[in-house]
Structure 1
Amino acid sequence: MPEAQSPAPPAGGPREPIVKWRPRSLRARQLLAASVGLLAFLALAGVALDRAFVTTAEDNLERRLEGYALSYANKVDFGRDGSLIPPSDSAIDPRFGQPGSGLYAEIVLPNGRWSSDSSLGPSLPSGELLKPGGRDFEGPLDMTQLDGSAGTVYRFGLGTVWGARGPQSEFQYSIYVLEDTQVLTSQLQTFRHALWVYLGSAGVVLLLLQGLILNWSLRPLQRVIAELKRVQRGQAQGMTGNHPRELEPLTESINAFIDSERENLERQRNTLADLAHSLKTPLAVLRAQLDDGVHAVALREELDIQLKRMNDLVSYQLARAASSGHALFSAPVAIEPYAESIVRGLEKVYAAKGVICEFEIDETARFHGEPGDLQELMGNLLENAFKWARSRVLLTVAPLGGTANRRAGLLLAVDDDGPGIAEDDVAKVLQRGVRGDERVQGHGIGLAIVQDLVRGYRGELTVSRSKELGGARFEVQLPPGL
């Protein structure tokens, strides 16, 4: 036979092992989310403040240039021949008289133009005649500095009319005031440096504060983890109740799970102990028969009796163990379909008595557990009632308690119109550990399993006189769950 060939490695070399993504810790998630959110907020705040400052600075620049233009309009004069008589530059601002100072003025006439002394040297953009009353703010516009370097300026234009000597002498002219953008740029740089320094410092402080707040807010979770470790090491029996309300459902669920596991373990131990104790007697009888050397026929009869007894004991203990193995967190089970199925079967068994079973079942009531437990619980109670009822049995089911955060419990009651149970015998009926064949005659069948089931669900079983039917009333109350 040819040797089996191993599959060839995939093209491109051997595959690297897939690294499973490990979820980040809650602290890392919170710090990452807080950092990203804080950085985004500071960035948006910085951009918004920067734009607001730029807009405000440009508005202030426009108003300042407008003030210079109005000052020129008030101080300018013209000769009889229409020639311009410029005002003194120093009367408005000394910088208008300094070449290349960064503040410039220009007056555009119908037949020429005039520039301030500060315009000597730099190459500035020229303006045009504006309509009377017209205003124009532009920038930044390209220019050439006194030293030949490139620069930019903002320009404000004001259109006006000269008519001091009558309507016939009126003519239009425009006043332009220009300012180098270096002043505004310097202001923006100073503001932006201070803005981002302050925002960065605030971000660092807020991140540190966020870390402190996060450690403080996660401290209850750290206590829960510490308590869980103590429970695992056997240093504590369960979780304490000193936790924030958001963590109470978690700690209560953990305690419920711990209690359930302990009860299940104890129940299994008790079941094994009961089974071992119960089997001692049949085994001792068989051993005695063998030791006495009885006849084979008698030994066979005794063996058949003891084997049947042992089989009954094993079946009973297995039934108890099965009824005790319900899940702590189970899906809700509707009750009415199971009740109808059980009652239909019992009506056939007790057809000669003509017993009628009535239902008062709330549609919202649910059994939170194993369906087999529900069948065992209702089956034993209803069979007991059918056996001793004269003609009527009443099954009542309703939700018990419950809130928005906790599921409702369950009230399940079975009434009959039979002879009832004497008050002195109630304690014997509910006596813990008493097996079915040791209970009061007539109402003892199946109650041992019912009692174990109710105890397993942390409920309560009570027996009393039925106020409605006059017989016995078996009432089961299961507490609200988590």
Structure 2
Amino acid sequence: MTHGSLRLRLSVAAAALIALALLASGAGLFLIFEAALDRRTADELNHTAKLLAGNVGFDAAGDIVVEQPPGDPRYATPYGGLYWQIESAGRKPLRSRSLWDKSIALPQKPAADMAHHAWADLPGPDGGSLIAVFRTVRIKGAPGEPLVVITVAMDRAQLAASRDLVLRLLPVSLAALGVLLALAMAAFVHRALSPFRALRAELQTLREGRAARLRGGYPTEVQPLVDDLNRLIAQQEEALERARRQAADMAHGLKTPLAVLDALARRIRDRNAGLAAEIEEQSLAMQEQVSRALARARSAAASGLQQRRTPIAPVIDQLVSATKRLPGAERIDWRVDVPPDAAYPAGEGELLEMLGNLVDNARKWAKREVIVTVATAGAGGSIVLEDDGAGMDPSEMAAVDRGRRWDETVPGTGFGLAITRDLAAATGGRLHLSRGASGGLRASIEWSGD
């Protein structure tokens, strides 16, 4: 994925949101666990306070007594982490052995019949922090029905094991959840981008000439783009058709005047050879302009959005068969090697024009042999024509351009290689000229499957 990839942008944004959500949810879950743990601990301590309230009383001397203290051994172990304390005004407090010689200082004086309360930060006997509850109860039947305050507390260090377990399990759980969310988000992004993959596939069928328009059925967010592309395709087809018509009209309009000029040149050649030569030269220049305009029209048509594929073997067979019937062609041995399934990404007219120029050029310059080879690799390939003629110098190959006649001794307009170069470029290929193994010209049209 490149820096400008929509998939990359969505993935990065999703990853950032997932990470933030996991961090927030992790912190929230831990806080919820802490609150739930405190609430449950307070409920357990309140239960112990109720048991103490049911067993508290006074002996004959008026001292506080508990008939059945809590059985948890931590209440009997000095600084064991669980503590209880019973107080009544004017009497000596009764405390669990775990408090040893310390006491729990309440933050306020309890009132009669108060509900139980919990404190998160009461100081403990060993310097720790306590979570504590207290209850107030009146002892019925005792002289004066004294008010008794029962306090039960737990050292927060006792909760550390549960907290540590959560801290160990929570990151692992969040990481597993993150992986699941990442997979789900990847599937979501893949699904969300499926219309664009379908659009790309349809554009490929359009370029290959297997469809004339993009079909509908896309989501409402993508359908306007498809409609605009169809309108663009229609406008381009209209523009290309106008270019073809204009080129054809110009060629047709100039055909008769050029024929008249040629006839005039022949009629006055005997009386004024110089004037006849000038007329013929101008007539040839106009013919070259007509050829140039027609080549441009074909090149524009070949560069459209719709791309056809034309089998190469029938076109080469047709050209070679026609060339063999020309005068003097019997001296040439044509060696053709074309795979039957090889196809060029252009229309038959464009391929016929390009190969016609190359075949005719090879016929003119070959001494005894022309080799035609076609190779394909996936959707790409190459068409190579090599003759055993005199060839071209590198400077001449680089100087070949539209209208350039690099050898005046051989008939022709000089547009063949230039037109082939333009048509190859317009159809996604490239014309490459080099010296062949036998010293002649090696002309190759190469294209890729991109």
Question: Structure 2 length as normaliser, TM-score?
Answer: 0.51
Q: Residues 262 and 272 from structure 1, CA distance in 2 versus in 1: closer, same or farther, beyond 3 angstroms?
A: same
Distance 2:26 2:228 in 1: 48
2:173 matched residue in structure 1: 198
| Residue aligning to 1:30 | 10
Partner of 1:261: 236
Output one character per residue of 1:100-153: Cα deviation in whole Å (capped at 9) or x when no partner. 2211111122123221112126x55323652111233212323353xxxx4211
Q: State the alpha-carbon separation in 2 of the partners of residues 231 and 240 from structure 1.
A: 7
CA distance in 1, matches of 2:66, 2:264: 145
The amino acid of 2:130's aligned partner reads V
User: Over residues 167-218 of structure 1, what are the superposed CA-to-partner deviations in whole Å (9 max), with x where a residue is unaligned?
Assistant: xx22222111111112223222323432332122011122023223323442
Q: Deviations over 1:206-260 (max 9, x none)?
A: 202322332344244234345546766x676656537634444433433432342
> Is 1:158 the equivalent of 2:139?
no
1:181 aligns with 2:156: yes
Which of the numbers 80, 83, 86 marks the counterpart of 1:104?
Answer: 83
- Is 2:108 the partner of 1:133? no
Distance 1:245 1:275, change over 3 A: same
| 1:420-431 equivalent positions in 2, closer than 5 A | none
Tell me how far apart the structure 1 counterparts of residues 243 and 181 of structure 2 sit (CA, whole Å): 57
Q: State the shift of 1:78 in Å.
A: 0.5
Instruction: Write the distance in 1 (CA, Å) between the matches of 2:46 and 2:197.
Output: 66
Residue 116 (structure 2) pairs with residue 142 (structure 1): no
Deviations along 1:385-426, one digit per CA (max 9) or x if unpaired, are xxxxxxxxxxxxxxxxxxxxxxxxxxxxxxxxxxxxxxxxxx
Equivalent position of 2:93 in the other structure:
113
Aligned to 1:224: 199
Q: Give 1:75 shift.
A: 0.5
Determine the structure 2 residue equivalent to 1:447: none
Aligned to 1:71: 51
CA deviation after TM superposition for structure 1 residue 286, in Å: 7.5
One-letter amino acid matched to 2:6: L
Cα pair distance change 1:136/1:210, threshold 3 Å: closer
Query: d(CA) in 1 for partners of 2:138 and 2:191?
Result: 73
Tell me the distance in 1 between the aligned counterparts of 2:125 and 2:213: 80
> What is the alpha-carbon distance in structure 1 between the residues aligned to residue 52 and residue 178 of structure 2?
49
Unaligned runs of 5+ in 2: 269-450
Say if 1:102 and 1:179, in contact at 8 Å, map to a contact too: yes
CA contact (8 A) 1:129 1:174 kept: no
Q: How many Å separate the matches in 2 of 1:34 and 1:290? A: 79
Which blocks of at least 5 consecutive residues in structure 1 are unaligned? 1-21, 294-482
Work out whether 1:274 is the aligned partner of 2:254: no
The 3 A distance-change label for structure 1 pair 282 and 160 is: same
Residue type at the aligned position of 1:32: V
Aligned length: 264
Q: 2:124 is paired with a residue of what secondary structure? A: strand
Q: Distance in 1 between matches of 2:133 and 2:185?
A: 49
> SS of the residue aligned with 2:117?
strand
Change in 2 beyond 3 A, CA 1:144/1:165 = closer
The AA in structure 1 aligned to 2:21 is F
Aligned in 2, Cα 1:165/1:243: closer, same or farther, shift over 3 Å?
closer
